[in-house]
Chains A and B, each alone.
Chain A
Amino acid sequence: MAIRTEPFVINMGPQHPSTHGVFRMRLTLDGEVVVDLEPVFSYLHRGIEKLVEGRTYAQIIPITDRLDYVASMSNNLAYVVAVEKLAGITVPERAEYLRVIMAELQRIASHLIAVGSFLNDCGAYFTPFMYMYREREDIVDLFEMVCGQRLTYNYMRIGGVSHDVPDEFLVALDKFVRRMPYFIDEYDQLLAENEILLARTKGVGILPKELAINSSAAGPVLRGSDVKWDIRKADPYSVYDRFEFDIPTGSVGDCYDRYRVRVEEMRQSVRIIKQAMEQLPPGEVRSEVLPLLRPPVGEAYGHIEGPKGELGFYLVSDNSIAPYRLHIRPPTLINLTALHDMIIGWKIQDAVIIFGSIDICLGEVDR
């Protein structure tokens, strides 16, 4: 005789180690199998789009640091790219190269956290995480050299960057890009063919290509599902059209593919930084921009390929010193759209991994 079971509802989060912050999933379970899922947001909602009302364009830059706080440089960059598009401001060459170097370092740092915490969720408790924090520490030290901050950098400015880099920075950066490929090889030796990792992630949480596109997934989640789409190539901003790099993609869209895409992207970022260092021109790092900028009446949508996907800022100007409207396109919130379809039918311990493979940051999801 079969044992009668009844579905029951549990709350996973907001305080749960695998939710990477304060995210809550209301799961309906049949035994161990997830049959329904409702994401619950907003435990970190600070109303950033409301907060920026009445602030000048320059005052908003430090607020963008607080979106995806493990990738502040990328947030800064996306915002200034949008403002420059709106106001038609040109950026000196050296500043463009410095921006690319910072954005790619930030991508590596963000992916290190993403991969490290993903492996944590897989049960490799904190060992790989600490390996990856070792390298992230180097990147954070580099950022500290250029802007004095270790988390909320506030480095980009409208029309350039806040300071030129100190001489020691390029020496330390050179050392870092020489070492980093060996560290990535080390991770691969330890993890890529690890039997437990393969068993837990291969074929788990598949996001089909069509659904990935239809649900507006972006970044490694989209590319993991075999969609060769990267804004750095598709719609180059800054000076990305001057570098050679590949777009890694997955084949089936499972958790393993998303993990591999992130690791490969780190290698590509190192490649871009090396080229940017070789080409780095001398000169100014900031063009003259009025402190109380008044862009002409109009609107602009600036987007970049952030570490977690397409990060966009939509700005409307009414020719005053503050934007009439600012909207942030958060890649991680939109990447969660397909979470329901990815998790249904899997066991609760797989749900942890599938959720971890999306790599979210609640500062950006809830804003």
Chain B
Amino acid sequence: MTIALSGKEVGTKLEEKFPGSIVESSQDSLLVKSEFLLPVATYLKDTPGFDFDYLACITAVDYSDYFEVVYHLTSLERNHSLVMKTRCYGRDNPSLPSVVSLWRGADFQEREIYDLMGINFDGHPNMKRIFLWQGFEGHPLRRDYL
């Protein structure tokens, strides 16, 4: 059985290592400040004991006030998982750091989020629409898109 790591416990460890990086943590998930996303993700991937070598899924949710991007991390070696979230504010040009440099599997998924939700991922090697055509106006999965 894949063990879902407690966001609280992981959050406490991360807070010691990167002070101010964790906005809130609960049993199910961990909310990371977007400025700390890359260092925290790198730490989770490379630290023995966490070994999050596999990025199962990335998705974004539009909560009107902010966008929440959800990373489902898994460690194939240790068979445990963690849900890491981050938020970005503003609807004109929201952006987040890309994790493609850590997990190649993020490539198409980040492009999909850009295409349908309109979140830019800085540092992505090929940040352009994946499903809709170039020149399409708007991002259909936003709540205010009609």
Taking Cβ atoms with an 8 Å cutoff, the residues of A that contact B are: 41-42, 45, 47, 49-50, 211, 213-217, 227, 229, 234-236, 299, 301, 303, 310, 312, 314, 316, 324-325, 327, 329, 333-334, 336-338, 366-367
Contacts and interface: CB of A to CB of B under 8 A. Distances in A.
A312 B61 contact: no
Contacts of B108: 333-334, 336-337
10 contacts: A49-B141, A213-B76, A216-B105, A217-B105, A299-B70, A301-B72, A310-B56, A316-B61, A336-B108, A337-B107
A338 B104 contact: yes
B13 to A, nearest CB: 23
Contacts of A45: 131-132
A214 B105 contact: yes
Given A49-B141, A316-B61, 8 more contacts: A41-B130, A211-B104, A234-B76, A312-B56, A325-B62, A329-B59, A334-B108, A337-B108
B65 to A, nearest CB: 14
Given A216-B56, A316-B61, A47 B1 contact: no
Interface residues of B, number: 30
Contacts of A316: 61
Given A213-B54, A301-B57, A310-B56, A334 B83 contact: no
A200 B64 CA distance: 53
Contacts of B79: 234-235
Contacts of A367: 131
Interface of B: 1-2, 53-57, 59, 61-62, 70, 72, 76, 79, 83, 103-109, 112, 116, 130-133, 140-141
Contact of A216 (B1, B54, B62): B54
Nearest to A313: B57
Contacts of B105: 214-217, 334, 337
Nearest to A314: B59
B53 A49 contact: no
Contacts of B59: 314, 325, 327, 329
B53 A213 contact: yes
B116 A303 contact: no
